[in-house]
Structure 1
Amino acid sequence: MSLPSFPPLDDIVRVLRTAGCVFAEDEADLLLSAASGPAALATMVEHRTSGRPLEHIVGWAAFAGLRIRVDPGVFVPRRRTEFLVQQAVSLTRTHSVVVDLCCGSGALGAALAHSVHPIELHACDIDPRAVRCARANIRAGEGQVNEGQVYEGDLYAPLPARLRGRVGVLLANVPYVPTDEIALLPVEARVHEARIALDGGADGLDVLRRVAARAERWLAPGGSMLFETSRGQLPTALDIVARGGLEPRTAVDEDRWATVVIGTKQG
């Protein structure tokens, strides 16, 4: 009795391309490698053509050379955000205390620990699904952290008080899409990622305001907060950081359309 066979790769590519998948060939390869059999593959292709993120289908995302676990509903780390990690790497020393706020899958903290280790890493997110992913991803980097803790809660609230004034690097990948623009996002994000990971309020900067207002008391002298923003939001974002008592500067990667703000505590 012969077993059912997988459809030809070209057929899968054709279906994905018709559905609008720009990188149909690469996606077809990934789906084939992840599928346990023809029936599972058919379901995965159907999910992809309906707009579900590829990363949610296969269960992981490629980020900064790592395979990051991403469960359904969890924010998918963007490749442009690797630029933020690169900026953080230049500011991180071994044994630094690092906090990853709004950590999502924990991709930023895990990638930073992979590049500079050991570090003391603390991550938190308000979404329990994201917290589960972050715990798995940070455990995967065991040996690269002196201490790796993931907390569930709102911004700084779940962090241990002993970290105040000791944080060398504060990663804050805050949501920054204005509320009225959520409806304009691709279906992959709009439908399949947690809204709380996307919606930054009326001008997209509400969460940043909350983070920046308290960053100075958590940072060590010379410590820095880093976050991503859009070009249009940049002037206001810089002002928010300055009002929080930090000295802001900007780093830009034109190729990746990435704009990162770094706010440093003097002292």
Structure 2
Amino acid sequence: LPKTSNREAQKIVLRIKRKCRETESEEVAVSIGIGVATKTEPEQSIDQVLKEADNEMYQNKLSESRSTKSKIVQSLLNTLTAKSNETKEHAVRMTKLAFDFGEKLGLSNSQQHRLSLLATLHDIGKTTIPEEILKKPGKLTDKEWEIIKDHPERGYKIASSSQEFAVVADDIYAHHERWDGSGYPGKLKGENIPYLARIISIIDAYDVMTHDRPYKNAISKEEALAEIEKCAGSQFDPELAEKFIKMMSA
């Protein structure tokens, strides 16, 4: 920009960024990286000034990228809520149960934070699943079930893209694995399944069983705990299952 001071150039940058924010919607986050450098001395070459602006642009782009990815993940959570109010309520109930169970297990503060985050984000991969499948009142077809089974891996990719949520990406990937190795998507077995994923799988199953779903009516608390006891050692970590049943029966 000829005959433009650095201060005036910075004002132009702010106007451009403001316009980007105004253009954002819940579904789309707009990001732009801009660098500014000013030729202030006659001996400065244009190439040198352009290089300074380019370096600043890449630094800003890196910073903007991290922020934008977190915004995108939050937008996806909003999309999931819009697709299914039940999913939001499910996450809220799970967060409370996760906190209570985490306390009983003596988790550290950082583990508690991760478990709470996992309770909120574990189903984020479902944002990629068509609404008609999520809300289908009847039994899913084999093809629809295969689409549903993709959501842990898709959730892993979404969480991995955000510096803020990457800490639970592996747990999201593994939250439908089974203790005996018959789960999905990776058929992980026993202690190869991340610890927090083993915890959340029990909480997830309990909440699913005790609340109505589009395809299945709820069962009682006692019936759900009996099912968890029955599946200890096959679907669930037997030690964690025993501790969860003890907590819920107190």
User: TM-score band, normalised by the shorter chain?
Assistant: 0.3 to 0.5
The structure with the largest helix share of the pair is: 2
TM-score of the superposition, structure 2-length normalised?
Answer: 0.35
User: Larger Cα Rg: Structure 1 or Structure 2?
Assistant: 2
The structure with the largest strand share of the pair is: 1
TM-score of the superposition, structure 1-length normalised?
Answer: 0.33
